[in-house]
């Protein structure tokens, strides 16, 4: 039987029982809390970006289908007031990868080493960032800290760079997407204006009228309380793959930010369960879910995503919220991974406590 068919069937059988019968609080074993972990590197803030500076555009994962899409991305960065320097291998393609692994890593390494480059932007996500991690020059990154922006599959690079250098990186829009007014304002506040304290990924304003209230961008509060910690995370699927490798981020005392796309609730369940079984979720100070886009049940019985998060995360005893504005959405906020933030589970807010750039 196909693995996904089998898992789908298993999930359906489990859902026949009520959630109250199968849900259990996550055990908080002392041994889980005290797991030996490597010491996290000291946080390093990159210099803030300024209009007129040069951005290196690279493709660390997949490429676009057509070259015109790359030129579109260059125009997007130009419209933001930056000069664009394309990576040497930017237009290369190899099936679902943007060319050879070493070449993609070389573009990243060269961009950090280039004194004429002030920031680095990922063309898109897709797949492939994890393949280049052994070829990344972390010493060069440490010696030349710069703003690095991207999300989705780029999560692998956020994790690795943070783990090996302590550099604050930015989970934000890729270059091949239009910037909404919300996304632009968030990026400018965090990366260019260095505002702090400042709200992160808060739902955009909505004017309530009789019979009309916010529906699309609601915040769900699973567990209250406040927690301060360094931001880590990104795409749940990619983050899960980092566990047990030299590239996983420091979970202890962190505020974990998670998003995903096109994953059924049972697969979200599976990944969260893996983070529990590996002892990682028991070590964070709080969990902030962004948007899990198109993460809906398929055919057959299934828990809802809300039920999965409640079942897997509420028993951790830390603030847990869902619905913040980051992920595979147009209004994609910029999150500075590695910077200190506060998650309030009672108000459903995430606040940047300190400037993420120098």
Q: Distances in Å between the alpha carbon of 309 and those of 49, 99, 182, 259?
A: 36, 37, 27, 12
User: Tokens standing for 116?
Assistant: 């004429």
What is the token pair recorded at 46?
């990159």
What the block records as the tokens of 224 is 């209250």
Residue 157 near residue 126 (C-beta atoms within 8 A):
no
Taking the C-alpha atoms of residue 60 and residue 122, their distance in angstroms, rounded to an integer, is: 7
Tell me if residue 328 is catalytic.
Answer: yes
Q: In angstroms, rounded to a whole number, what is the distance separating the alpha carbons of residues 190 and 305?
A: 30
Catalytic entry in 171, 328, 342, 355: 328
Three-class SS of residue 259? strand
Question: Among 309, 343, 318, which Cα is nearest to 200's?
Answer: 343
Q: In whole angstroms, how far apart are CA 136 and each of 58, 111, 170?
A: 14, 11, 18
Q: How far is CA 95 from the centre of its chain?
A: 25
Task: Dig out the tokens for 258 from the structure.
Answer: 């998670």
What gap in Å lies between CA 23 and CA 63, rounded to an integer? 41
Q: Is 263 a catalytic residue?
A: no
Q: Which residue is catalytic, options 152, 237, 302, 355? A: 152
Sequence-distant (≥ 6) Cβ neighbours of residue 53 within 8 angstroms: 82, 83, 118, 119
Give the residue among 141, 165, 164, 155 at the shortest CA–CA distance from 246.
Answer: 164
- Choose, from 259, 263, 302, 342, the residue flagged as catalytic: 259
Instruction: Kindly list the distances between the CA atom of residue 1 and the CA atoms of 8, 9, 271, in Å, as whole numbers in the listed order.
Output: 11, 11, 22
Is 152 a known active-site residue?
Answer: yes
**Tokens found for residue 60:** 């660390």
Residues in the chain: 358
- Provide the annotated active-site residues: 152, 259, 328
């Amino acid at each position: 039987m196909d693995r996904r068919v089998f898992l789908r069937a298993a999930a359906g059988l489990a859902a026949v029982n009520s959630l109250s019968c199968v849900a259990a609080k996550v055990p908080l074993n002392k041994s889980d809390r005290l797991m030996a972990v490597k010491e996290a590197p000291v946080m390093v803030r990159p210099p803030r970006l300024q209009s007129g500076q040069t951005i290196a555009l690279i493709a660390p994962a997949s490429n676009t289908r057509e070259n015109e899409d790359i030129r579109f991305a260059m125009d997007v960065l130009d419209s933001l007031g930056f000069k664009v320097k394309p990576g040497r291998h930017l237009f290369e393609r190899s099936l679902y990868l943007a060319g050879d692994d070493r070449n993609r890593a070389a573009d990243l390494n060269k961009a950090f080493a280039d004194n004429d480059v002030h920031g680095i932007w990922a063309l898109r996500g897709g797949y492939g960032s994890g393949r280049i991690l052994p070829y990344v020059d972390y010493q060069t990154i440490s010696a030349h800290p710069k703003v690095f922006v991207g999300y989705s599959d780029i999560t692998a690079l956020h994790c690795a760079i943070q783990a090996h250098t302590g550099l604050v990186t930015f989970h934000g829009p890729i270059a091949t997407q239009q910037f909404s007014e919300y996304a632009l304002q968030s990026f400018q506040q965090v990366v260019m204006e260095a505002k702090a304290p400042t709200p992160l990924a808060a739902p955009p304003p909505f004017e309530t009228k009789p019979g009309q209230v916010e529906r699309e961008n609601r915040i769900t509060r699973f567990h209250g309380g406040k927690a301060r910690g360094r931001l880590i995370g990104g795409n749940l699927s990619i983050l899960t793959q980092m566990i047990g490798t030299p590239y996983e981020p420091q979970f202890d005392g962190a505020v974990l930010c998670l998003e995903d796309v096109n994953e059924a609730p049972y697969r979200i369940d599976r990944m969260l369960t893996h983070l529990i079984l590996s002892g990682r979720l028991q070590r964070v100070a709080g969990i902030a879910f962004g948007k899990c886009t198109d993460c809906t049940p398929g055919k057959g019985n299934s828990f809802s995503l809300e039920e999965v998060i409640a079942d897997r995360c509420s028993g951790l005893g830390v603030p847990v919220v869902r619905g913040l504005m980051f992920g595979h959405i147009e209004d994609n906020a910029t999150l500075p991974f590695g910077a200190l933030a506060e998650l309030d589970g009672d108000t459903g807010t995430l606040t940047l406590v300190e400037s993420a750039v120098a």
